[in-house]
Amino acid sequence: MAIKKKKGKWIVKLLKVVVIAYLLLILCQLIGDVYSRLSVTHNILVSEEWNLIIVNRWNELPEDYSVELTELSNGQKVDSRIYPYLQEMFDAARAEGVYPVVREGYRTEEEQQEILDEKIQIYINQGYSQSRAERTAKEWVALPGTSEHQLGIAVDINADKSKCSNEEVYAWLAENAYKYGFVLRYPMGKQEITGTSYEPWHYRYVGEEAALEIYEQGICLEEYYE
Tell me the catalytic residues: 199
Backbone angles phi, psi at 58, to 5 degrees: -105, -10
If the CB atoms of residues 133 and 154 are measured against Zn ion, the closer one turns out to be 154
If the CB atoms of residues 156 and 168 are measured against Zn ion, the closer one turns out to be 156
C-alpha torsion angle, residues 206, 210, 214, 216 (rounded to 10): 130
Annotate 127-158 with DSSP letters as a single string: T--HHHHHHHHHHHSPPTTS-GGGTTSEEEEE
Is 208 within 8 Å of 181 (Cβ atoms)?
Answer: yes
Three-state DSSP at 193 gives: helix
As a whole number of angstroms, the distance between CA 215 and CA 182 comes to 9
In the bound state, the residue with its beta carbon closest to Zn ion is 202
Q: How far is the CB of 205 from Zn ion (least distance, A)?
A: 13
Q: How far is the CB of 41 from Zn ion (least distance, A)?
A: 25
Q: How far is the CB of 196 from Zn ion (least distance, A)?
A: 9
If the CB atoms of residues 124 and 195 are measured against Zn ion, the closer one turns out to be 195
If the CB atoms of residues 119 and 202 are measured against Zn ion, the closer one turns out to be 202
Q: How far is the CB of 204 from Zn ion (least distance, A)?
A: 9
Instruction: Please list every residue from 198 through 217 that binds Zn ion, using CB under 5 A.
Output: 202
Residue 111 engages Zn ion in binding (rule: CB under 5 A): no
Residue 107 engages Zn ion in binding (rule: CB under 5 A): no
Total site size for Zn ion, rule CB under 5 A: 2
As a whole number of angstroms, the distance between CA 76 and CA 70 comes to 9
C-alpha torsion angle, residues 168, 99, 202, 87 (rounded to 10): 140
* Residue range at the interface with Zn ion (CB under 5 A); choices 5-13, 26-34, 47-55, 196-204: 196-204
If the CB atoms of residues 141 and 210 are measured against Zn ion, the closer one turns out to be 141
Best CA proximity match to 225, nearest among 72, 17, 25, 47: 47
Residue 156 engages Zn ion in binding (rule: CB under 5 A): yes
**β-strand 182-184 against 202-205: which pairing, if any?**
antiparallel
Is 183 within 8 Å of 206 (Cβ atoms)?
Answer: yes
Q: How far is the CB of 155 from Zn ion (least distance, A)?
A: 7
* Residue range at the interface with Zn ion (CB under 5 A); choices 45-53, 57-65, 108-116, 152-160: 152-160
Interface ranges with Zn ion (CB under 5 A)? 156, 202
